[in-house]
Amino acid sequence: MSYLGLEGRRILVTGASSGIGRATAIEASRNGAILALSGRRDDALAETLAELEGTGHVTHPYDLSDLDGIPDLVQRVADDLGGIDGIVHAAGIHSARPLRTIDAAHLDDVLRTNVSTAILIAKGFRSKRVARVDGSLVLLSSAVATRGQTGVAAYAASKGAISAVTKSLASELLRDGIRVNCVEPGIVNTPLTTTLAASVGEAGWAAIEADHPMGIGEPTDVAHAILYLLSSASRWVTGISLPVDGGMSAR
């Protein structure tokens, strides 16, 4: 048994189709957790499922743009797994867009996708029919929540909101036995990173790389921090925003 104590813990991961969500699911399975994988694409979830160790894992495809159905999704997962010990809400969108091109529709899309979904995930988790003893909710913020970066105003606003809402949810859900924390990753090598690099150009990408003294990270670097926050090893930790950013926040 590892010090994390994740053996047999039932964990829902949104955004499990790729990137940090996929890496977290894989690493959690290697530590004995039982996973429910959620994302929009059946085929991508099947690819993640095939990489998991152990048995009992399930998939629950869902488009989180249907906000009102999110608590019901959490309930269905709980019914399938026999309750939920932890949720990692890794689903979200990255937006690199200059201020001059931002409109109301874009702002609404980013905030709904990155913030509204997180709050409704928490609403579903707090149900007595869902959360097991000592629950843990881990949200995904970003280093840009606290460190200014050109061209990401909408995205930074959404991730700053996640870091803020983490504290409010941690306070509110403490009475339900649920800890709430978030991680603030720097840039890691995911499919979104390729899109980002193309959007900011060669000079912009060079500046981003220079902003990470330890280099660009890998999804597993963030996944390992998430597993700590999911686990009993962090039983005395709630309401924090943990930078996992290759030294960016140290500068």
User: Whose CA is closest to 172, among 82, 239, 233, 116?
Assistant: 239
Q: What is the CA radius of gyration of the chain?
A: 17
Length reported for the chain: 251
155 part of the active site: yes
Task: Name the nearest CA neighbour of 224 among 55, 17, 26.
Answer: 26
Asked if 118 contacts 173 with a C-beta cutoff of 8 angstroms, the reply is no
Inter-CA distances, 43 with 18, 39, 47, 61, 229, Å: 11, 10, 6, 10, 29
% helix, strand, coil for the chain, step of 5: 50, 15, 35
Catalytic residue among 3, 62, 155, 228: 155
> What is residue 191's three-state secondary structure?
helix
Nearest partner of 48 among 60, 37, 40, judged by Cα: 37
Distance, CA of 165 to CA of 174 (rounded, Å): 14
Rounded CA separation 240/243 (Å)? 10
- Which residues does the annotation mark as catalytic? 155
